[in-house]
Amino acid sequence: MDNTIYKNRRNNLKELLPNNSVLLIPGADLQYRNADSAFPFRQDSSFYYLSGFCEPSSLIAIVNNKDGIKSIIFVPPKDKLKEIWDGHRSGPVGAVDDFLFDKAYDNLQIDKILPDILHGHEEVLYPIGKKKGFDQQVIDWTTAAGSKDRHSKSINIIDATSLIGNMRLIKDEHEISLIRKACDISAEAHIEAMKSVKDGDNEQQIESMYIHEFSKRGARFPAYNPIIAGGENACVLHYVENNQNLKSSDLLLVDAGCEYQMYAADITRTFPVSGKFSEEQLQIYKIVLDAMNAAIDSVKEGNNIMQPQEISEKVITEGLVNIGLLKGDPEELHKSGAYKDFYMHKIGHWLGLDVHDAGDYTEGDEFMTFKPGMITTIEPGIYISSKMDVDDKWKGIGVRIEDDILVTKDGNENLTKKVPSDPNEIESLMS
Ligand code: GLY
Ligand code: MN
Ligand code: MN
């Protein structure tokens, strides 16, 4: 196991941290389902990004001062009995030898040792408000550090959310290769689903198929709860009940991506249960696909990150006017936001260790511009629930198409293009 990559990321913080400061990044705790039955442990993403270390209730402290940059970790102590029940622990020795920290302590010592580490520094940075109970702990440690010498300068507490988030925003080669793998696995699962879905299947069966296809390719967990939405269920944006039977006249919207070695993929495809789009379904589908293609074309270094959003709004507005679902001048309708009755969510989000990944969307008062190494989803949609005041023929049609787009030096790369989005290709795959 080579953990140099994580050590290098910690060392790179030398350029980003203020002088004479300490950065604290708390790891995740084990979450219990009931009694002593725990959910599978998932490390906090920023903690993992800087350590590669996957044991619960750990803490990283990165100290930046005139002596250089030093990384310290607090980890669960070695414990013969606990290790019999729950498995191997690295302990402080393993944290130094295998995870390349400069110093490691057992986490039962945090309250005693951390105030000494903070003492004499001017700033403590940590992600404020992200972990329950942690804000109070930082205040307590900082107060204890300050009270060691009442004549020393007080310690300022600063939010590190943007600092770490924006580091994570630009993906390195190692990350891109893992996300590429997560995307490939997820795309293959979508292809398998398109080939096998049939009238009368239950949404839950389709869900289990995705989990199986992910798992057999090395991705044990989905990156988020899959949305397996037949017919009108597609109009519930976060539908996760996944328990209805599919009808041959339905479209099936599946938003499902796996997590591979901690990295997420996020793909949506919408396809006809019968294998053949109806005329109305196809009309709506083509508008979404046009919006998708135009939006992806605008993901380029230097372009404003809101450009795909605006383009997708315009294409969808125009398309809805062309088929009579909106009436009036497309430009005016776009300005008034009339499309929001049909397309009510944003075009996408950053993707990485988390499906809705860390990283800002603005720089100062402006939206950011795209830079190589960023990965964004592009996911336009049109949703027409039966409650809407439209001709019956449109009711119950919900379409979203979602791909994962890497910004490159020469434009972009669609990491999930392997799974067809062209309606003819979908129909031929399903035939
Ligand atoms: N799968 C979550 C999303 O598309 O944002
Ligand atoms: Mn998404
Ligand atoms: Mn999604």
Q: Spell out which residues line ligand 1, taking CB within 6 angstroms.
A: 224, 255, 266, 349, 355, 379, 402
Comparison of pLDDT for 8 and 2, the residue scoring more: 8
Q: What percent of the chain has pLDDT over 90?
A: 97
**Mean pLDDT on 178-191:** 98
What is the signed CA dihedral for 401, 292, 264, 241, rounded to 10 degrees?
-20
Q: Is position 383 annotated as part of the catalytic site?
A: yes
Q: Is position 310 annotated as part of the catalytic site?
A: no
User: What is the layout of strands, in order, in the sheet containing 59-65?
Assistant: 103-106, 68-75, 59-65, 21-26, 123-126, 156-159
Comparison of pLDDT for 2 and 126, the residue scoring more: 126
pLDDT value at 1 more than 80: no
pLDDT of residue 148: 82
pLDDT of residue 405: 99
Residue 139 token pair: 């205040």
Whole-number Å distance, alpha carbon 112 to ligand 3 midpoint, is 44
What atom of ligand 1 comes closest to residue 255's alpha carbon?
Answer: 1
Q: Is position 379 annotated as part of the catalytic site?
A: yes
**pLDDT for 224-266, tens place per residue?**
999 999 999 999 999 999 999 999 999 999 999 999 999 999 9
Whole-number Å distance, alpha carbon 256 to ligand 1 midpoint, is 8
Residues with CB under 5 A from ligand 3 (ion): 255, 266, 402
* Bridging pattern class, strands 366-367 and 362-363: antiparallel
Residue 126 sits at φ, ψ, to 5 deg, of -165, 160
Q: Is position 266 annotated as part of the catalytic site?
A: yes
pLDDT value at 122 more than 80: yes
Which of 50-59, 144-153, 228-237, 374-383 has the lowest average pLDDT?
A: 144-153
What type of residue sits at position 4?
T
pLDDT value at 93 more than 90: yes
**Mean pLDDT on 157-179:** 98
What type of residue sits at position 330?
P
When pLDDT is cut at 50, 70 and 90, the band that residue 36 belongs to is confident
pLDDT value at 275 more than 90: yes
Residues with CB under 5 A from ligand 2 (ion): 266, 377
How would you class 147 by CB atoms within 10 Å of its CB: exposed for 0-12, middle for 13-18, buried for 19 or more? exposed
pLDDT of residue 150: 73
Q: Is position 250 annotated as part of the catalytic site?
A: no
The answer, as to whether pTM is greater than 0.95, is yes
pLDDT of residue 154: 87
Whole-number Å distance, alpha carbon 419 to ligand 3 midpoint, is 14
Residue 203 token pair: 């949404």
Mean of per-residue pLDDT scores for the chain: 97
* Given the residues 123, 207, 266, 404, the one annotated as active site: 266
What atom of ligand 1 comes closest to residue 379's alpha carbon?
Answer: 4
Q: Whose CA is nearest to atom 4 of ligand 1?
A: 266
pLDDT of residue 149: 79
Cα end-to-end span (Å), the chain = 45
**pLDDT for 60-80, tens place per residue?**
999 999 999 999 999 999 999
Among 228, 259, 266, 345, say which to mutate for ligand 1: greatest number of ligand atoms within 8 Å of CB. 266
What atom of ligand 1 comes closest to residue 348's alpha carbon?
Answer: 5
**Mean pLDDT on 423-429:** 98
Whole-number Å distance, alpha carbon 105 to ligand 2 midpoint, is 39
**Residue for token pair 């798992």:** 215
Among 255, 270, 344, 354, say which to mutate for ligand 1: greatest number of ligand atoms within 8 Å of CB. 255
What count of residues does the chain have? 431
DSSP 3-state of 89: coil
Q: Cα separation of 249 and 342, whole Å? A: 21
pLDDT value at 194 more than 90: yes
* Given the residues 55, 201, 203, 402, the one annotated as active site: 402
Whole-number Å distance, alpha carbon 266 to ligand 1 midpoint, is 6
Residue ranges of E strands in 209-338: 221-222, 227-230, 251-255, 258-260, 263-264, 268-272
* Given the residues 10, 89, 334, 400, the one annotated as active site: 400
Whole-number Å distance, alpha carbon 1 to ligand 2 midpoint, is 32
DSSP 3-state of 34: strand
Name the maximum alpha-carbon separation found in the chain. 78
When pLDDT is cut at 50, 70 and 90, the band that residue 379 belongs to is very high
Among 379, 403, 405, 416, say which to mutate for ligand 1: greatest number of ligand atoms within 8 Å of CB. 379
Residue 93 token pair: 């020795």
Whole-number Å distance, alpha carbon 407 to ligand 1 midpoint, is 19
**pLDDT for 388-398, tens place per residue?**
999 999 999 99
* Bridging pattern class, strands 227-230 and 403-408: unpaired
CB 378 within 8 A of CB 405: yes
pLDDT of residue 248: 97
When pLDDT is cut at 50, 70 and 90, the band that residue 371 belongs to is very high
How would you class 335 by CB atoms within 10 Å of its CB: exposed for 0-12, middle for 13-18, buried for 19 or more? exposed
User: Which residues are 253's β-sheet partners?
Assistant: 229, 270
What atom of ligand 1 comes closest to residue 224's alpha carbon?
Answer: 1
Q: Is position 36 annotated as part of the catalytic site?
A: yes
How would you class 231 by CB atoms within 10 Å of its CB: exposed for 0-12, middle for 13-18, buried for 19 or more? buried
pLDDT of residue 69: 98
**pLDDT for 396-420, tens place per residue?**
999 999 999 999 999 999 999 999 9
Q: Is position 217 annotated as part of the catalytic site?
A: no
pLDDT value at 152 more than 80: no
